[in-house]
Amino acid sequence: MERKRKEVGTVISQKELIPGIFDMWIETKLAHQAAPGQFVMIYPRAESTILPRPISICQAQKEAGRLRIVYRVAGKGTKEFSGYEAGEDIALMGPLGNGFPLLAAEGKRAVLLGGGIGIPPLLQLAGELPGEKVILAGYRDGHLFLQEDLEKCGPFYAATEDGSVGVRGNVMDALTVHRLEGDVIYACGPMPMLRAVKQYAVQKGIPAYLSLEERMACGVGACLGCVCKTTRKDAHSHVKNARICTEGPVFEASEVDIG
């Protein structure tokens, strides 16, 4: 079955979780095939905003045909989306990209790490991941979002940059303070965090799967606007590059050259 398709869904509900972070449920057939770590491209209506916006999938109720996105208002496109109300149409394409490999955690203890707007993809992952897991989320301040949802999936630990809640610092600081360990890591967040996760995984000798965040223009690999460096040559292009939207956004840490 073709995975990449554009359709018009319907907004079921939307609310602002914390200032600038919105939570939207969408009725769409795309939910039937959505896997943890994948994303959708959402098309703005405004003629001045041409390109669709990539937004990660937070949750998918597959049988009900409901998709949840939690996103930050960062520009014209997402500002427009934040004004959508229940019953309105919304144009989107997906599900796109390669998500988190669930089988890698079978019989193992998984550590899930999310930073900022990289936290939402962890919710569907935590819900579908087999076996034992622990979840760590990093925020700027005490305005936590998705905490209650994530706590239902396993032990949850928070880190805040200002120290107002949980451990002062980032998720790696929380990992150290709480003396948490695992056999496999799944992470999504800003690049400095992912670099630290990769370094930690190498030191511990455990696999880590990283979801890279990047600006995207098409979402299907045609524009080459979201290329990242890899540690091995692509079989077709013979260069050490990969498209985040198609080969990713999730990569095994050893496969990407992120420093």
pLDDT digits (tens, 9 = 90+) for 184-194: 999 999 999 99
Residue 143 has pLDDT above 70, yes or no: yes
Question: pTM, whole model, 2 decimals?
Answer: 0.88
| CA gyration radius, the chain | 18
CA distance 84 to 74: 16
Q: Are residues 48 and 160 in the same domain?
A: no
Question: How many domains are there within the chain?
Answer: 2
Q: Are residues 236 and 111 in the same domain?
A: yes
**Which of 97, 82, 133, 65 has its CA nearest to residue 211?**
97
Q: Are residues 107 and 70 in the same domain?
A: no
What is residue 48's predicted lDDT score, i.e. its pLDDT?
72
249 or 108, higher pLDDT:
108
Domain that holds residue 235: 102-255
**Which of 58, 56, 2 has its CA nearest to residue 29?**
2
Q: Are residues 143 and 88 in the same domain?
A: no
- SS3 at position 107: coil
Q: Are residues 120 and 193 in the same domain?
A: yes
Q: What is the mean pLDDT of residues 91-104?
A: 93
Q: Are residues 166 and 201 in the same domain?
A: yes
CB atoms within 10 A of CB 176: 12
Q: What is the mean pLDDT of residues 74-91?
A: 96
Q: Are residues 43 and 118 in the same domain?
A: no
What is residue 217's predicted lDDT score, i.e. its pLDDT?
45
CA distance 97 to 16: 27
Residue type, 39: F
Last residue of a domain, one of 33, 61, 96: 96
Last residue of a domain, one of 96, 123, 150: 96
Last residue of a domain, one of 49, 80, 96: 96
Element (H, E) at 186: strand 184-188
What is residue 219's predicted lDDT score, i.e. its pLDDT?
43
What is residue 14's predicted lDDT score, i.e. its pLDDT?
98
50 or 24, higher pLDDT:
24
What is residue 224's predicted lDDT score, i.e. its pLDDT?
46
Both tokens of 125, joined, read 């992952």
CA distance 188 to 186: 7
Q: Are residues 73 and 149 in the same domain?
A: no
Q: Are residues 90 and 117 in the same domain?
A: no
CATH at residue 228: 3.40.50.80
Q: Are residues 131 and 203 in the same domain?
A: yes
Q: Are residues 165 and 90 in the same domain?
A: no
Tally of helices (H runs) and strands (E runs) in the chain: 5, 16
pLDDT digits (tens, 9 = 90+) for 37-70: 999 999 999 877 778 899 999 999 999 999 999 9
Percent of the chain with pLDDT over 90: 74
Under the banding of pLDDT at 50, 70 and 90, the label for residue 130 is: confident
- SS3 at position 3: coil
Q: What is the mean pLDDT of residues 71-96?
A: 95
Residue 223 has pLDDT above 70, yes or no: no
Burial of 244 (0-12, 13-18, 19+ CB in 10 A): buried
Q: Are residues 29 and 50 in the same domain?
A: yes
Burial 26-36 (b: 16+ CB within 10 A, else e): bebebbeebbb
What is residue 36's predicted lDDT score, i.e. its pLDDT?
96
Residue pair 31/67 in contact (Cβ under 8 Å)? The answer is yes
Backbone dihedral angles phi then psi of residue 23, each to the nearest 5 degrees: -120, 115
Residue type, 23: D
What is residue 44's predicted lDDT score, i.e. its pLDDT?
94
CATH at residue 62: 2.40.30.10
